[in-house]
Chain A
Amino acid sequence: MSQQISESELVLMKIIWKNGGAALYSVIMEELEKDKNEWKNNTVLTLLSRLGEKKFLKVRKIGRKNEYVATVTEAEYQTMQTHSFLDKVYGGNVKNLVSTLLRQDILSADELKEIETFWRKENE
C-alpha cells in the first residue's frame, strides 16, 4: 500500500468513509453533486477502478450494482500518510516536525500543552 492516492481519488475515498466505509456508485454520484463537483460518469469510474488497483477499495456486487468498500479506515490512511510525510520531509524526526508546526503558529501553545498531558497520561 505504498502507492499514493491522488487528490481527486481522495475526494472519493472521503465520500466512502463518510458513508461508513462502503458506498454504492449512485450514492457517490449524489454526494459529488451535492459538493458541486461536475464529474462525468466515466471519470468517476476510472478513479474508482484506479483505487481498486491500488487496493484501497474492494468492489462488492449487490445484484447488478457495485458497492465500493474501503479496505482502510480514514484513521489508518492518515497514519500511513503521516508516516510517509514524516519520512519524506523530516527524515522521520518528529521533533523537527513539531518545531515547524510551533514556529509557524500552526500549533498553538495551548494545543501543545494538551498534547503533553495526553502524552504523560499515556505513559503512566
Chain B
Amino acid sequence: MANGVFRYEDDLLKHYIRTTAWLPLCKSRLAAVRAAPTRRERERRLRYFTFCAVGAIDVLMLDVANIIRRSSDGRFDTVFFFDRSPEYVIETQKRIPGAIGFPGDFTSVVLLEDAEENSVFDSETPLEPALNSADVRETRVNQLLLSQRRNFIQYFPFDVVNLDLEEFLLKPNDEFPGRLIRALSKVFTWQKRPLRISGGPSRSLDGFSLMFTTQVGPPNLTDEYLGMLRDRIGNNLATDDQLLDIMLDRTGVNDPLLLQQTQFEMFFKLGMPKVLASILMGTDWYVDAEYGLQIYEIERSTNGSSYKMLHLVMDVKRHNPPDDRRAPGTQSAEAEEAYRTLVRQVFATPETVVSDDTIDRAQLQADLDRIKARRRLYYDSEAEDGQ
C-alpha cells in the first residue's frame, strides 16, 4: 500500500462495481432523501459512512456526481470513515477535507464494552479526569476508546453505509458468531437512532443503502461457522418448496452438507448473504425486495494465488411497524415477504462476475481519471512532494 493509497485504487474491475453498483444505489438514496416530507429533511445532505481508504475514490466519485454535497465552506463533513492506521486517517482527510475520520480498529471500537450503552450518555464524560486511576497509558487509552465509541455512535444514522472491508466476514479464529457479525449487529442497531436535523424534527430513517464487501471463504472455517451457513441454507429449503429444485438446477446437489463438501464457494455464496440478511432482520431492518440484493464478484491474483471478492449491494428498509410497536419476536409481514423474495433471488440468480471481458476499460479509466482530477483540486500530492 505505497503512500497509504489503496492498492486496488486503480483496479478497473473494482471501479466497475463503484460505477455500476454503488453509484446508482447512492443516487437512488439521495432521491429518497429528497422525497422526505419536510423541507429541512429534503434539503439535508446525504450522510455517508465508508471504509474509503486513503484514496477516497468512492467519496470523490459521489462528489463528482453531486451526490455528496460539501458544506458551504467546502468540507466533506457528512462523510464518516474509519481507518486502522492513524497515518491513513490523516492522508484520507487531506483528500476529502473536513471528513470525519476515526483512527482505530472498527470492530474493536464498536465491540468495546460500555456500561452505559443503553442509557443517556455523551462522548465527553469518559474524558473527565479519572478519579481512582492513575494517569497512565492504559487509563488514557481506555478513556479515549470509550469516548471515540460514543462519539461514533452519536453520528448515526447514515443514509449510506459502505462496508468495503476487503476482509473475511467469517474468521475461524473469532469466537462464534464472530466479531464482525457482532459489530454489524451493533451498527445496524445504531442505524435506528433518530437523525437530528438542526431546526427540524428528529426522525429515524425509513431505510438506508448498504454496500458490503467480503472475501469468499476462508476454506478452513470451523464447524460452528459452517454449521451456521448450512443452517441458513437448510432453513431456507425447509420453508420454500421450490428452492430445492432451484438449488439442484444451479449446483447439481440438493443437500447443504454435500454442497459444502463439494462446492465450497457456491456454498458460501448461498449462505453468506443470508447471514447478513439475518443480522438486518434481527435489528429491525430488511433487504428491500424491490431493489433486491445485487452480488458482484471479482477475482484477484496475488503472489501466484488468487481469491474472490464478493460485493453485495442492497437497499435496506425499516420494519413497518417498527419493533417498539410490534409484539416481541414477530416480524412485519412486509419484511417476511421481502425476505422470502430475497432468499429465492439468492438461490436463483448467480452473482455478476466482473472481469476484463465484461468491462469497458477505456470508459472506466476516463471516469477514474476524472475522479482523480477532482481529488487533485483538494490535495495535489504530487505537487506537494515534488520539491
Asked if A and B are interacting partners, one says: no
Seen from chain B, the residues whose Cβ lies within 8 Å of a Cβ on chain A are none
